[in-house]
């Protein structure tokens, strides 16, 4: 029986792309009867003018006072790039984060949220390069607890069919899951795309394969940057994970805690 669900992927004003106030987030969480893990962005060498970095001392000083009822945990989402891996590891070890998400946002200097990455690439090429990068980067970022949104590339891909099909990319997806298992990194199911039933159906074979390879657990996160998105799809994701043979969990002090 679920005692409390945690939204394990959220961003507040400590992230460059969010202005959400923690107090507003906590008000929504209380109404939804869920816990929150704030996972602010650290993405060193991020292209463009936005700085995806924050001061962890200020982060903990500002947010610790809101942790009185154990429903708020403090984490970080770290972007994976080869040249920043050592710097990211040092950052991750300097503060008492409850949970570390490692995510692939940048490929060859391009933010894959924008069209430039996709120029001159068909879907198979663009997705293959992305999936290979994740597989290669996990070992360099094995200090992470959770691999963020394997389907991140689907959000802004310029193709008629954006979905990530297991059968189209089986060797690359298998490599990701095998590398994650070796490095004790579990996946998240990111509910940003859970408003689309086709996306949910397409992802089931991807996560079932993780279970077939030996995976047992996954976190659930809305990736909310605004209060209205907090908790989005959490219950639907629990059903999804059950179909995939996985147990929903969250992390506190880097210790895995089942939500069932």
Q: Which tens digits make up the pLDDT trace of 25-49?
A: 999 999 999 999 999 999 999 998 8
SS (H, E, C) the chain: CCCCEEEEEECCCCCCCCCCCHHHHHHHHHHHCEEEEEEEEECCCCCCCCCCCCCHHHHHHHHHHHCCCCCEEEEEEEECCHHHHHHHHHHHHCCCCCEEEEECCEECCEECCCHHHHCCCCHHHHHHHHHHHHHHHHHHCCCCCEECCCCHHHCCCCCCCCCCCHHHCHHHHHHHHHHHHHCCCEEEEEHHHCCCHHHHHHHHHHHHHHHHCCCCEEEEECCECCHHHCCCCHHHHHHHHHHHCCEEEEEECCEEEECC
pTM score: 0.97
5-258 to CATH, choices 2.20.28.120, 3.20.20.140, 3.40.50.970, 3.30.70.600: 3.20.20.140
- Listed by start position, the domains of the chain span 5-258
Per-residue pLDDT tens digits for 208-259: 999 999 999 999 999 999 999 999 999 999 999 999 999 999 999 999 999 9
């Amino acid at each position: 029986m679920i005692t409390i669900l945690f939204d394990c992927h959220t961003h507040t004003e400590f992230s460059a792309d969010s202005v959400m106030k923690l107090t507003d987030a906590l008000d929504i969480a209380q109404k939804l009867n869920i816990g929150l893990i704030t996972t602010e962005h650290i993405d060193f060498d991020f292209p463009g003018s936005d700085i995806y970095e924050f001061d962890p001392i200020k982060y903990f000083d500002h947010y610790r006072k809101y942790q009185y009822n154990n429903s708020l945990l403090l984490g970080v989402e770290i972007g994976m790039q080869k040249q920043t891996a050592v710097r990211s590891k040092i950052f991750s070890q300097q503060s008492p984060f409850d949970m570390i998400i490692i995510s692939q946002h940048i490929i060859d200097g391009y933010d894959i949220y924008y069209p430039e990455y996709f120029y001159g690439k068909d879907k198979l090429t663009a997705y293959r390069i992305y999936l290979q990068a994740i597989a290669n980067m996990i070992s360099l970022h094995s200090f992470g607890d959770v691999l963020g949104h394997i389907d991140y590339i689907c959000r802004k891909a310029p193709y008629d069919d954006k979905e990530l099909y297991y059968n189209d990319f089986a060797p690359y997806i298998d490599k990701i899951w095998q590398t994650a298992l070796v490095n004790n990194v579990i996946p998240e199911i990111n509910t940003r795309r859970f408003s689309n039933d086709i996306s949910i159906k397409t992802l089931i074979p991807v996560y079932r394969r993780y279970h077939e390879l030996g995976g047992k657990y996954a976190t659930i996160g809305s990736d909310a940057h605004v209060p209205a998105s907090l908790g989005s799809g959490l219950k639907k994701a629990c059903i999804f994970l059950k179909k995939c043979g996985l147990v929903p969990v969250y992390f506190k002090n880097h210790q895995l805690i089942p939500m069932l």
